[in-house]
Structure 1
Amino acid sequence: MIDDLALNLAYLPLQLSRNKLTHTIEAADPALTSRAGLKYFLTLLVPDFPFSSTFEELHTSEGRETPVDVQGGLQRFAGAVFRYNRGRGGKLDGLLTYAKPRRQQNVLSLSLSQTMAFCLREGIQGGEPAVDVENTLPKRYVIKAGLANEDFVAYGDTFFTSWQSGARQFLTWQPNYKRVAYAQEEYLYFLLNFSPAPQQLRLRVQWYQADGTASGASTVLTLDNPLLMSVVACPVGASVLALPTEAARYDVWLSNEANKRLSEVRSYWLDDTHTPYDRSILFVNSLGGWDTLRLTGQGQRTLTVAQQVADVERPAGAGVDFSELLVVQTEGEYTLQVSTGYFRSDAAAYLRYLDELLLSEEMYLITDKGHRPLQLLTNSVVDAIDDADLVARTFSFRILDTVENYSDLPPTEPAPLRPMAWRGVNLGHVLDAFGKRTGKLVFQRLERIYADDNSLVKPYTVKPNVQGDPDYVPPITDSSIEPGSTPYPSAAISRAGTFLRATCASGYLGGPATIVIAAGRYGAETEGTADERAEAEYASRNTQATADASGSCTLNNTPVHLAIHHQIPMNVHVVIANGLYGPVVSLRVNDTELVGNSTGQSPPIVNRSVATLMPGTYNILARVQYNNTPRHPCRLRLVGKNREITVTTDGFYLFENVVVNSADSPLTVEVLNL
């Protein structure tokens, strides 16, 4: 039986490094007397090594603000826009690397190189009076992944929060119910961007016989205390999972230590059909996972050799076997042309999925001697065809190593000339699911040394110390550390949600639920990180279901006053700040004036109606008058109703079909600067 979903997970956002990332610095104070010489700066701060809590400056960009847009007296201050990552090969993307699985990997492993924390620091200088401000924004995360442009517009900021909270997708777009050979290398990658983080990650499997009889779920591989924001690589080939020969299909998924499911379920059919040609390409996909494309069609390998020769002067009396041309260099390269074979099911989806291969940055031919790097020579593919029947495609590859000699030895692992080992450096705390200390310490990085004398290997070589790596150094216990302690506990949250209860009885008005997260629920080793996780939990609990379960219900029969809050200070009819003529505003309902002519005061006041309205739906008409020109443009905002109108001239402006409830009193129209 497939595990039940883990509930109440709070998903944290990440930026996509393979897409263009921009940041806008808000415009400096519009009241500056001069904006000449105004400069904006954006500094990018990154960790000094993977998952480090110490940040260093990577780059500072200088820019200018977009010129103030003036149209008919309307002024718009757009600020300065910076593109701090240009997509593939950008400042952030270039710092991240993919984590290819090892040949025939049979353990869960973590990748710390595909995600990274970073900070943006804003700066503004210049202008009159002189401005000199600096502001470091809260920490963000980025992943070496990307979406198609048309999807990035809609999902760029929410893919790893709102989308993943429902889909729990592995990092792949390959169609489900894939056909695989028993011995085929197959992998799934998964991002751990939710809290509470699992204390143990379990790869679970359930297999089925041809008649549909299920085996029941079992745990095949485990990984303890995975790091938040790391990427886990899961080998899911049938041979690694040790499935029995009678298995016809199997499901895989990830669960936590309580066997609560964290991921989607991926299903595979075992293909026992005899295929005379069987090759596999391992390639990185757009989400940063590694997919295997099985090629069962005919193929051919071609060796192309190029030789360089030099002229040699023939000596007097040289024999017939003397060559006047000497071959000084012989190099060759292999090219491989191979067909996918016909797709047996879901051909249209697989045809579209082949786009991933053409867009891939890294790919390898899986052989019995290892993963051989490839370059795809094919640069186009027909990825959609109406009313397709049998579908297959042919691709050409270049094997990216130089051929200078021939041999045909059996596979074996190379032995180093001098034995080497790895030594731990940079001890850090092992944290529990809520970011608190467990009483254990673990080395964050490993450096390479010679095993015979512990001296450093030159050049200096270092890598992260992560679970699943064959050189992983496990944690050690430190009795001086109190389990559950933390230097930076999260602050308490007691805040109303943004959804209103929809299950109240007739005559009652639904209110929000108060979401409470106790102080110290989360911990962290850096300031602010625990609060981020608490805020993520608040966001995950801020739902309509929460409001319907525990939101308030109040009687909705109290009359409501209307009001105008004119926030543009005026001297009679003239705006104090610029000398333009300001708006005079009144409110009417059903041809009755409820709030009379209101002008801006200093300080602003609220002009409240004497008459009231019973709860219901109304058309509220705002009349705006200017005493003369030039006019000061404004906007009218109906508080609490997400309704706003831009005003640039005299006239009547209608807020149509406004639902008025007792809790709105006084229902206020604000008069604001643009």
Structure 2
Amino acid sequence: MLPVYFGQNDIIHTVTGSPSGRHKADVVIEDYQGKYNFATSPFPALDSVYLSGVGYRFNLRNLFHNFSGFNLPVPSNSQLLPEAVKGNIVKVKVRVQSVGTIALYENISNVFAILNGGMSESDFAKLGNLFFDIWSQVKGPFLTWQPKTKRVEIQSPEHLYWLQNIVNAEIAITIRYTINRLTFNGVGYVNATTVIDKTLAVKAYEMACIPVRPEIVRQLDSNIDPISIRNITVQVIYAATNYLSEIRDFKVFDTSKGSGSPFSMAANSDTPIYLKILNSFGVWDTLRLYGKLKMSTETERYTVSYERRMSLLDVEGFDLLEANTGSLDQDWLRYMKQLLYARKIYHLTPTGNRELILETKKLPTFETNVGDENATFEFRYVEQNSNYSNL
């Protein structure tokens, strides 16, 4: 398999044995719809840094950050079966050329892969660009830093992502759902377990986007009532006995008979608010907040003065959201750092996804090993309003 690097951490490309002088590097995408070559590369040329005894070094960090090929759309809430998706990862080559010399020097690298994500600087210092060579091969993680056990509801818009960097070819993987549920045996309710396997063809460097919410079970097995489900575990398997991923456990709670739909917008509601956040792997996490919600509006008036009279030119307003997480254990409180670093956040509403900007800049200070705590976050909706309506 090709090396896979995080695009938001250092990617050092070094060239040795070239003539002295100025060098530049061009980067080309090898596999994005086949429309790029070195002459039409969408990236600016990079200047080298020469280190004596080492060679000419180029850092590709953040070069791909705004490349449109990395746009991985928010998964549809109507997706009921696993899908192979492309985006967020591309194959590239680097061409290094000497500048201003009579004898042109040129070096073209082997192909490698860039994933639009990153690690904290402290973790990157420990593991460097070996995450996908060592950690992911041994641990088999899904592309999320969320704790492995998660509370969900029947309607929860949950998705997992798994990167196929195992074999440099298309393979048929098995998504294994293990369903634990209550069933009536004529006398009372007893626990029952059902294993459902769904096969999916995934090419090298594609991702399996795996929906997890209990509603999908009816699509996989019409005999199972989602209301009866107590928990679902998910794992990726190949050829029946090769376990390619970790196991994720989703504990199911039924809120349909409680305070209403989890999409409820009622202020101070105890029902959850669902967010999709672009995590540090560059894919989408689902985050639900169970605490109190407050909605407000902030406006700004633009005026002009003429002959000692003030006139109103325009009014602009933004909707604001304040949401509390509800009670969280220590693992989930640590994960809330991910929300602070998320570059995209969407609020899932009955009428569509509304983009948010996080206004909160700091997590509260939590005491360790003292049980569950909570945190409050403030958001601003990105759309700007100049009028009011109420459909």
TM-score after normalising by structure 1: 0.49
Which residue pairs with 2:324 in the alignment?
339
Q: 1:42 aligns with which of 18, 25, 42?
A: 25
Structure 1 pair 297–229 and aligned structure 2 pair: CA distance change class (3 A): same
CA offset at residue 386 of structure 1? 2.4
Code of the aligned partner of 1:247:
I
Structure 1 pair 64–280 and aligned structure 2 pair: CA distance change class (3 A): closer
Structure 1 pair 212–187 and aligned structure 2 pair: CA distance change class (3 A): farther
Code of the aligned partner of 2:54:
A
Q: Does 1:372 align with 2:366?
A: no
Code of the aligned partner of 1:400:
V
Code of the aligned partner of 2:333:
L
Q: 2:302 aligns with which of 282, 285, 308?
A: 308
Which residue pairs with 2:197 in the alignment?
219
Contact 1:45 1:59 in 2 (8 A): no
1:614-653 deviation per Cα after TM superposition (whole angstroms, max 9, x unaligned):
xxxxxxxxxxxxxxxxxxxxxxxxxxxxxxxxxxxxxxxx
CA offset at residue 15 of structure 1? 1.0
Which residue pairs with 2:86 in the alignment?
112
Which residue pairs with 1:604 in the alignment?
none
Structure 1 pair 112–196 and aligned structure 2 pair: CA distance change class (3 A): closer
Which residue pairs with 2:248 in the alignment?
266
Structure 1 pair 334–64 and aligned structure 2 pair: CA distance change class (3 A): closer
Q: 1:299 aligns with which of 284, 293, 297?
A: 293
Which residue pairs with 1:208 in the alignment?
180
Code of the aligned partner of 1:353:
Y
Contact 1:117 1:140 in 2 (8 A): yes
CA distance in 2, matches of 1:369, 1:64: 51
Q: Does 1:397 align with 2:379?
A: yes
Contact 2:181 2:228 in 1 (8 A): yes
Structure 1 pair 269–389 and aligned structure 2 pair: CA distance change class (3 A): same
CA offset at residue 251 of structure 1? 0.7
For residues 516-527 of structure 1, what are the structure 2 equivalents within 5 Å?
none
For residues 440-479 of structure 1, what are the structure 2 equivalents within 5 Å?
none
1:229-282 deviation per Cα after TM superposition (whole angstroms, max 9, x unaligned):
122322211223335322111112234575854322211101236463321111
For residues 534-545 of structure 1, what are the structure 2 equivalents within 5 Å?
none
CA offset at residue 120 of structure 1? 1.2
CA distance in 1, matches of 2:79, 2:7: 27
CA offset at residue 219 of structure 1? 3.1
Structure 1 pair 126–290 and aligned structure 2 pair: CA distance change class (3 A): closer
Contact 1:352 1:384 in 2 (8 A): no
Q: Does 1:151 align with 2:136?
A: no
Which residue pairs with 1:229 in the alignment?
205
CA distance in 2, matches of 1:384, 1:205: 35
Aligned residues with identical type, % of pairs: 24
Q: Does 1:20 align with 2:10?
A: yes
Q: 1:278 aligns with which of 263, 269, 272?
A: 272
For residues 93-242 of structure 1, what are the structure 2 equivalents within 5 Å?
93-95=65-67, 96-124=70-98, 132-195=104-167, 197-209=169-181, 213-219=191-197, 222-223=199-200, 225-242=201-218
Contact 1:17 1:145 in 2 (8 A): yes
CA offset at residue 292 of structure 1? 1.5
How many equivalent pairs are there?
362
Structure 1 pair 401–212 and aligned structure 2 pair: CA distance change class (3 A): farther
Contact 2:150 2:251 in 1 (8 A): yes
Structure 1 pair 105–325 and aligned structure 2 pair: CA distance change class (3 A): farther
Which residue pairs with 2:54 in the alignment?
78
Say what the alpha-carbon RMSD is for the aligned residues. 3.0
CA distance in 2, matches of 1:355, 1:64: 34
SS of alignment partner, residue 93 of structure 1 = coil
Which residue pairs with 1:657 in the alignment?
none
CA distance in 1, matches of 2:100, 2:37: 27
CA distance in 2, matches of 1:226, 1:307: 53
Contact 1:255 1:263 in 2 (8 A): yes
SS of alignment partner, residue 197 of structure 2 = strand
SS of alignment partner, residue 11 of structure 2 = strand
1:74-103 deviation per Cα after TM superposition (whole angstroms, max 9, x unaligned):
xxx222222222xxxx22222233332124
Larger Rg: 1
CA distance in 1, matches of 2:142, 2:289: 23
CA distance in 1, matches of 2:160, 2:152: 14
Contact 1:175 1:350 in 2 (8 A): yes
Code of the aligned partner of 2:330:
A
Contact 2:315 2:386 in 1 (8 A): yes
Contact 2:28 2:93 in 1 (8 A): yes
Structure 1 pair 231–247 and aligned structure 2 pair: CA distance change class (3 A): same
Structure 1 pair 382–126 and aligned structure 2 pair: CA distance change class (3 A): same
Code of the aligned partner of 1:169:
P
Which residue pairs with 1:500 in the alignment?
none
CA distance in 1, matches of 2:211, 2:88: 18
1:303-331 deviation per Cα after TM superposition (whole angstroms, max 9, x unaligned):
12233356799xxxxxxxxxx76644232
Structure 1 pair 218–362 and aligned structure 2 pair: CA distance change class (3 A): same
Which residue pairs with 2:233 in the alignment?
251
Code of the aligned partner of 2:348:
I
1:178-235 deviation per Cα after TM superposition (whole angstroms, max 9, x unaligned):
0111111111111111216454444331111369844231135x54x43321223222
Of structures 1 and 2, the one scoring higher in RCO (CA 8 A, sep 6+) is 2
SS of alignment partner, residue 241 of structure 1 = helix
CA distance in 1, matches of 2:301, 2:63: 41
Code of the aligned partner of 1:101:
P
Contact 2:171 2:203 in 1 (8 A): no
Code of the aligned partner of 1:236:
V
Contact 1:285 1:356 in 2 (8 A): yes
CA distance in 2, matches of 1:62, 1:289: 31
SS of alignment partner, residue 157 of structure 1 = helix
CA offset at residue 300 of structure 1? 0.6
